[in-house]
Amino acid sequence: MLAENEIAKRLQDVRDRIAHAATRARRRPDAIRLVLASKTQPAAAIRAAYEAGARDFGENYIQEAAAKRAELADLRDVTWHLIGHLQSNKTALAVGTFDVIQTLDSVRLADAIGRLRPAPPMRALIEINLGGEANKSGIPASEAQSLIEGARDKTDIIGLMTIPPHTENARRYFAELRTLRDRLAASSGLALSELSMGMTEDFEVAIEEGATMVRVGRAVFGERPA
């Protein structure tokens, strides 16, 4: 793990870059939420980022996240985001651990979440697999409308999330997610105000294309422990 002051310094650097990207795009910097992707990082690294002002953390693995959340139970006002795939047999632990599920990908999962957390409903983003990659989770854009219709009474669907294919041209996928969101918002009547897109390599481009949440790991925490 990096030293605490190094994490604080890198966090400030990422915040500055977010502010610059927002200004370039004529957006308000506070319209972009920085979600720190903390998978495989020790609880102490999360605590260091918290001390430096971070309040949103994204975790991929349910058990790991539950253990860290317990270890960090004294931290106030933290929002925990699930950014990894959710298997149905882990739904109960996930609902007990996370405040936002960014990887909703089936009506059946929404049903299970809704039963476990009827009110207030769980905030959820639908994960869209824009590149049609078999090794990535999420649903094709063409299935988003029916998922929204089937899940909207069980969860509070606040937007869309994507992990685009690894290419030089992530911008095109970010723009595609925004266009899809605009279309789905119009057809569903939901605001779908959140667009979760952009990571260490490309968060500034994502902000230029409308991201409201960027998920950044290595730029703040350094390389992940193996």
Q: Contact positions toward ligand PLP, by CB under 6 A?
A: 37, 39, 60, 83, 163, 199-200, 215-219
Q: How far is the CB of 84 from ligand PLP (least distance, A)?
A: 6
Q: How far is the CB of 26 from ligand PLP (least distance, A)?
A: 25
Of 102, 99, 104, 103, nearest in space to 117 by CA: 99
Q: How far is the CB of 199 from ligand PLP (least distance, A)?
A: 4
Tell me the residue number closest to ligand PLP, measured at CB: 217
What is the dihedral angle through the alpha carbons of 84, 179, 106, 150, rounded to the nearest 10 degrees?
140
Of 170, 158, 226, nearest in space to 202 by CA: 170
H/E element, 189: none
Nearer to ligand PLP by Cβ, of 50 and 57: the residue is: 57
Nearer to ligand PLP by Cβ, of 97 and 114: the residue is: 97
Q: Where does the chain show beta strands of DSSP type E?
A: 33-37, 56-59, 79-82, 100-104, 123-128, 156-162, 194-196, 213-216
Nearer to ligand PLP by Cβ, of 114 and 164: the residue is: 164
Nearer to ligand PLP by Cβ, of 79 and 200: the residue is: 200
Q: How far is the CB of 136 from ligand PLP (least distance, A)?
A: 9
Nearer to ligand PLP by Cβ, of 114 and 195: the residue is: 195
Of 39, 121, 50, nearest in space to 79 by CA: 50
Q: How far is the CB of 156 from ligand PLP (least distance, A)?
A: 20
Tokens of 196: 């979760």
